[in-house]
Amino acid sequence: MNFFDVANSGLLFALVGLGIVYIFLQSVLFLRIALKRAKEIGIPRTTTANVIKSSAVFSVAPSIAVALGLAALAPSLGIPWPWLRLSVIGSVSYELMAANMAASALGFATLADASKSGPLPLGAIMLAMSTGLAGAMIMDLLFIKKVDAAAAKLKAKAGEFGAVGIGVLFFAVIAVFVAPLFGQGLVSVATFLTSMLLTMGQGILSRRPKFAWLKNFILAFSLILGMCSAIVWTIALN
């Protein structure tokens, strides 16, 4: 039995499928509660119908990004586990970073090496990918109100500096994901810079009224074009 015999096993597909079904039923329940509440407070049915339609349309763009993320993770981790992670909670950048950290802790140079060694590393990788975000969710439940109140207080007292300080903290979090790319060779750096320029260009273009629709597809287009640029840079620099 090898790594992918477990990663793509029927049992794992069934367990992940149960989780996805649970989330789907939960969403349907919340929709019913929301519709009932809208009726109670007198919101017209046409208004709720329009909200549902617009929400469904705007959900297409994020789903494209999720599908691309699944395609990126599947060769290294199989299909069911990335499907669960990206459908419920998680992001491509976090999942890859957590998986690579777990593989490195087990003594493998890359995630690809871990997937060639047998099924045993898979459990550790799945645990590392799960516990990080689970811990964050628990911390949010316990401390998010206090953190939010402290941030609002900082903004109120420090004025513009407070707003800048919160922005700096946000970029510090992003730097955790970005910094490792600069140690993975010229292809990774070139792909990152290309993706950054593409994202900035689309953001500037979306400010024009004719291209306002682009705001909902920046992430998806940046992922697609960034992947294409990785192929180009790999050929050009190797």
Q: What is the pLDDT of residues 57-73, one digit of tens each?
A: 667 766 776 777 788 78
pLDDT of residue 175: 78
Of residues 76 and 55, the one with the higher pLDDT is 76
The chain-wide mean pLDDT, for the chain, equals 83
CA distance 238 to 29: 52
pTM: 0.67
User: pLDDT tens, 151-186?
Assistant: 777 777 766 776 677 778 778 877 777 777 777 788
pLDDT, average across residues 128-136 = 79
Tokens in use for 64? 């494209």
pLDDT at 14 over 90: yes
pLDDT of residue 210: 86
CA distance 170 to 47: 36
Of 17, 27, 86, the C-alpha closest to 56 is 27
pLDDT, average across residues 86-105 = 80
Tokens in use for 28? 């349907």
pLDDT, average across residues 88-106 = 80
CA atoms within 13 A of residue 71's CA, in its CB half-sphere: 10
Tokens in use for 18? 């149960």
Helices (H) then strands (E): counts for the chain = 11, 0
Residue pair 121/57 in contact by the 8 Å Cβ criterion: no
CA distance 103 to 96: 10
Q: What percent of the chain has pLDDT above 90?
A: 14
pLDDT of residue 162: 66
